[in-house]
Amino acid sequence: MKVPYIPADAPFDGDQRAWLSGFLAGLHSRLAIDGDGSTPVAATPQQQSASPLHILYGTQTGNAEGVAMDAAAAARAAGMQPVVEPLDDIDMARFATMKRVIVVVSTYGEGEMPDNAQLFWEALSADSAPRLEAMNFGVLALGDTGYDGFCQAGKLIDTRLEQLGARRMATRLDCDVDYEDAASAWVGEAMPIAATIDGGQAEPAAPAEAMALPAREKSQWNRKSPYSSVITVNKRLSSAASAKEIRHFEFDLGDSGLVYEAGDALGVMPVNNPILVSAILERLGADKDAALPGLSRPLDQELTASFEISTPSRELIAEIERRAGHDELSHILRHGDKEALENWLWGKDSLDLLQLLPSGAMSAADFVGLLKPLQHRAYSISSSPLAAEGRVHLTIASVRYTTDGREHGGVCSTYLAERAEGEMVGIFVSQNKAFRVPSDDAAPVIMVGPGTGIAPFRAFLQERRARGASGRNWLFFGDQHRADDFIYEEELATMSSTGLLTRLDLAFSRDQSEKIYVQTRMRENGKALYAWLEEGGHFYVCGDATRMARDVDQALHDIVAAHGGHSADAATTYVNELKRQKRYVRDVY
Ligand SMILES: Cc1cc2nc3c(=O)[nH]c(=O)nc-3n(C[C@H](O)[C@H](O)[C@H](O)COP(=O)(O)OP(=O)(O)OC[C@H]3O[C@@H](n4cnc5c(N)ncnc54)[C@H](O)[C@@H]3O)c2cc1C
Ligand SMILES: NC(=O)c1ccc[n+]([C@@H]2O[C@H](COP(=O)([O-])OP(=O)(O)OC[C@H]3O[C@@H](n4cnc5c(N)ncnc54)[C@H](OP(=O)(O)O)[C@@H]3O)[C@@H](O)[C@H]2O)c1
Ligand SMILES: Cc1cc2nc3c(=O)[nH]c(=O)nc-3n(C[C@H](O)[C@H](O)[C@H](O)COP(=O)(O)O)c2cc1C
């Protein structure tokens, strides 16, 4: 079922009204609220005005926020007053007064809350969390079945709300990467139910900014309909001697009307490597021109453009294990040992798995049936539109490794590096509203971005220069070797000499016997760093999530404790307050 898009503050046109009233009438006649199981009747104006519908979202890259905005439009259409807020803006005292709540939340890291839901979850999961008997709720979870903790954040919140006495008004929906249609359908079903729930006593007023819903700016270019752009620049930044291949790309935006802001990410639709496609076809013993039921194009084209053939799906792994009788894999799967599975899979693509079976042992139809759709990859944009008019820049590390003597390449990074020149490459902007330069141009900015993590900070610096922002800028950057990996060195030198970059602290990890990382430099300069924070500084982190971002977070806590004279607990409170004020934000992956 496709729900038409209605901007949050848009007047409805005749078609939309007709569709909505028909849809809602149909649902009212077939939906029952939990509790007494009675068929709901349409909400009276008194009921509708009794309490707002709180639509709370937790997001890292904007998908959940987008769904929340669409839900707000549907709530208005159903006669409710929606209030949309990020989860971290909600304190427990206010949360406990809410009568009708929809939570839209993605999952990040390894089954974790997205950054802007972490403080909320900390409070909700604490023993001190209030009872929520007055609340009716529904949870819409966004995730990716490729991860172990599929939709874990949504599952945790859903379970906890029930534990605290809240009543579920809609069954939780767990959405995979293709979430749009399923989420729309869920919202369409949940809204009429929410509209029939008696809000009871009025709640304390929500903050004005949450009541005044901004229009959701929907670009015509999105994941399902990307803009076809050409790459105008593809140049290697790291030296030929570097262990890494980091490249700078520029995409032409032509007359697309595609807009972005410093801090946004670009979605890129990749194309698989034809060498891998051919090798897989050979292993399957399949004809490249074969037509499979349900697929519109010849097999080789489908494998090239439609399916994830590099990273093996869970379904493929399970089926290979079933057919191959591979002792080690069988042992790992039988014991559900996630870490052992991750280690065993590290560096293996679908072809490596197929090679565990005799050649031709799996039919092309079976193989394709076990694949996931090919997904876009996200890249933090490394330009400001104020400095790179009509273009968008990316800074990408090519993923390359060798397993069992065969060269493997990351799908998107090597497509862009080797095969995309002269091609039309599908792109779209993924907004990251939480990751922006401060609106106060005078505010100091501290940026921690080793490796490709420098990308959004190049954009920030360009943005601040173009705006003539007077605030000081401090960048922590590093990679393996200064001689080979100091990307954008000249630009940074110019930014330093012109005074734009007030401080540049470098950490080249492998130029000496002991590792020097960005957090080493942070600690060395802890006193000044704390002073910048005290002067209203904003602290940003971008790059590797699993190792760097965690260690940088620890260093930040330690610095606040050491230089602010705080206990460990007080340092955590201080850092949490930075998060609450949106002065500590991350773009980590
Ligand atoms: C919000 C966001 C912003 C991002 N910004 C950037 C950015 O600015 N620049 C950037 O370069 N990337 C960025 N990324 C990462 C990017 O999206 C891709 O994940 C990355 O380019 C790899 O994609 P790929 O298609 O080339 O590789 P894939 O085909 O997806 O393969 C990656 C997989 O290969 C395997 N692998 C990787 N290295 C090895 C190895 N050495 N040995 C064995 N196996 C290995 C791992 O299983 C890994 O998961 C960002 C990600 C997100 C979510
Ligand atoms: N999961 C992994 O094992 C792994 C490995 C590499 C890259 N990646 C992924 O690659 C992308 C980013 O790669 P990139 O090439 O831009 O940069 P990167 O691999 O993050 O390396 C940049 C710099 O960070 C250093 N570093 C390593 N561990 C660190 C830590 N705990 N704290 C601070 N700095 C640390 C590296 O040093 P050294 O390399 O000398 O230690 C290097 O000097 C991300 O997607 C990341 O998740 C993952
Ligand atoms: C680095 C990274 C880690 C992720 N981890 C998980 C995970 O553990 N479980 C899951 O279900 N989805 C995971 N996802 C998928 C996201 O939840 C999914 O893409 C979602 O649509 C993102 O929504 P958002 O833009 O609102 O954050 C991860 C995505 C990324 C990029």
Read off the pLDDT band of 42 (50, 70, 90).
very low
Confidence of residue 384 (pLDDT cuts 50, 70, 90): very high
More confident residue, 561 or 11: 561
At 55, give phi and psi (nearest 5°): -110, 110
> Which residue's alpha carbon is at the smallest distance from atom 30 of ligand 3?
108
Neighbours of 139 (CB within 10 A): 29
Q: What is the pLDDT of residue 218?
A: 73
- Report the side by side order of strands in the sheet with 100-106: 82-86, 53-58, 100-106, 136-142, 167-175
pLDDT digits (tens, 9 = 90+) for 492-507: 999 999 999 999 999 9
pLDDT at 419 over 70: yes
Can you tell me the distance from the alpha carbon of 422 to that of 416, in angstroms, rounded to the nearest whole number?
Answer: 11
Whether the pLDDT of residue 217 is over 60: the answer is: yes
pLDDT at position 2 over 70: no
In 3D space, the residue among 451, 494, 440 whose CA is nearest the CA of residue 476 turns out to be: 451
Residues with CB under 6 A from ligand 1: 61, 265, 270, 310-311, 346-347, 377-380, 395-397, 399, 401, 410-413, 452, 455, 587, 589
Residue 565 three-state SS: coil
The Cα–Cα gap between 427 and 145 comes to: 23
Confidence of residue 448 (pLDDT cuts 50, 70, 90): very high
Give me the pLDDT at residue 27, please.
Answer: 36
245's tokens: 């291949």
pLDDT of residue 325: 86
Question: What average pLDDT score do residues 16-40 get?
Answer: 34
Instruction: Give the atom of ligand 1 at the shortest distance from the alpha carbon of 345.
Output: 47
58: nearest Cα among 113, 135, 99: 113
Q: Which helix (H) or strand (E) holds 49?
A: helix 45-50
Point out the ligand nearest to the CA of residue 397. 1
Residues 560, 566, 569, 570, CA torsion sign: negative
Task: Give the residue, by CA position, lying nearest to ligand 2 atom 41.
Answer: 509
- Segment 545-572 shows an average pLDDT of 97
Q: Does residue 206 surpass a pLDDT of 70?
A: no
Instruction: Quote the CA–CA distance of 485 and 477 in Å, as a whole number.
Output: 11
SS3 247: strand
Neighbouring-strand partners of residue 191: none
Average pLDDT in the chain: 90
Look up tokens 């032509």; give the residue. 254
What secondary structure does DSSP assign to 415-470, as a single string? Answer: IIIII-TTSPEEEEEE--TTS---SSTTS-EEEE--GGGGHHHHHHHHHHHHHT--
**Average pLDDT for 367-395:** 97
Confidence at 9, pLDDT banded by 50, 70, 90:
very low
* Residue 72 CB contacts under 8 Å (≥ 6 apart), including other chains: 8, 55, 82, 84, 213
Q: What mean pLDDT comes out for the span 109-136?
A: 96
Which ligand sits nearest to residue 415's alpha carbon? 1
Question: What per-residue confidence (pLDDT) applies to 59?
Answer: 96
Q: Does the beta carbon of 79 lie inside 6 Å of ligand 3?
A: no
Judged against a pLDDT cut of 70, whether residue 64 lies above it is answered with yes
418 vs 23, which has greater pLDDT?
418
Q: Which atom of ligand 2 is nearest to the CA of 510?
A: 40
CA angle 532, 534, 539 (to 5 degrees): 55
pLDDT mean over 461-467: 98
Question: Nearest 5 degrees, angle CA 484-CA 490-CA 496?
Answer: 120
Distance between CA atoms of 143 and 169, rounded to whole angstroms?
21
Q: Is the pLDDT of residue 194 over 90?
A: yes
Backbone angles phi, psi at 361, to 5 degrees: -75, -20
214 pLDDT tier (thresholds 50, 70, 90)? low
pLDDT tops 70 at residue 61: yes
Spatial distance between the Cα atoms of 275 and 287, rounded to a whole number of angstroms? 15
Atom of ligand 2 nearest to the CA of 515: 40
Q: What is the distance in A from the centroid of ligand 2 to the CA of 98?
A: 43
* Residue 208 confidence (pLDDT): 62
State whether the beta carbon of 582 lies less than 6 angstroms from ligand 2: no
CA 70 and chain centroid, separation: 18
**Which H or E element spans position 143?**
none
509 Cβ closer than 6 Å to some ligand 2 atom = yes
Which ligand places an atom closest to the C-alpha of 486?
Answer: 2
pLDDT at 133 over 80: yes
**Cβ–ligand 3 contact at 62 (below 6 Å):** yes
First to last CA, the chain: 33
What residues contact residue 229 under an 8 Å CB cut-off, 6+ apart?
251, 252, 253, 254, 256, 424, 425, 426, 427
**Cα 158 to ligand 3 centroid, rounded to whole Å:** 17
- Mean pLDDT, range 291-302, rounded to an integer: 96
Q: Is residue 130 very low, low, confident or very high in pLDDT (cuts 50, 70, 90)? A: very high
Q: Which ligand is nearest to the CA of 152?
A: 3
On whether the CB atoms of residues 454 and 382 are closer than 8 A, the answer is: yes
**pLDDT at residue 166 greater than cutoff 50:** yes
CA of 271 to the centre of ligand 3 (A): 22
Q: Where are the beta strands (DSSP E) in 519-583?
A: 538-543
What is the per-residue pLDDT for 148?
87
Judged against a pLDDT cut of 70, whether residue 444 lies above it is answered with yes
Assigned token pair, 48:
């509708």
Q: Please give the Cα distance from 243 to 245 (Å, whole number).
A: 7
Q: Which residue segments constitute the domains of the chain, with CATH numbers given? A: 14-211 (3.40.50.360), 227-266+377-430 (2.40.30.10), 274-369 (1.20.990.10), 445-588 (3.40.50.80)
Please determine, for residue 6, whether its predicted confidence score (pLDDT) is greater than 60: no
| Higher per-residue pLDDT: 256 or 38 | 256
Quick check: 131 and 165 in contact, CB under 8 A? yes
Mean pLDDT within 143-153 = 94
Contact 208, 56 (CB under 8 A): no
Residue 63 confidence (pLDDT) above 60: yes
Give the residue-averaged pLDDT of 399-422: 96
pLDDT in the model for residue 18: 38
pLDDT digits (tens, 9 = 90+) for 318-377: 999 999 989 999 999 999 998 999 999 999 999 999 999 999 999 999 999 999 999 999
* HSE-CB for 558 with a 13 A CA cutoff: 13
What is the band of 135 on the pLDDT scale with cuts at 50, 70, 90? very high
Residue 168 and residue 67 in contact, taking contact as beta carbons nearer than 8 Å = no
- In this prediction, residue 210 carries a pLDDT of 58
The one-letter code for the residue type at 63 is: N
Pair of tokens at residue 170 = 């809609």
Cβ atoms of 478 and 508 closer than 8 Å: yes
Extract the tokens encoding 100.
């009708």
Residue nearest to atom 23 of ligand 2 (CA): 479
Q: pLDDT-derived band of residue 219, with 50, 70 and 90 as boundaries?
A: confident
By most ligand atoms within 8 Å of CB, the mutation choice from 107, 349, 379 for ligand 1 is 379
What pLDDT was estimated at residue 568? 98
Q: What is the mean pLDDT of residues 130-153?
A: 96
* Residue 60 CB–ligand 3 contact under 6 Å: yes
Helix (H) or strand (E) holding 212: none
Residue 252 has pLDDT above 90, yes or no: yes
pLDDT mean over 246-261: 97
| Out of 145-154, 467-476, 519-528, least confident range | 145-154
Residue 45 or 141, more confident = 141
Is residue 347 within 8 A of residue 279, CB to CB? The reply is no
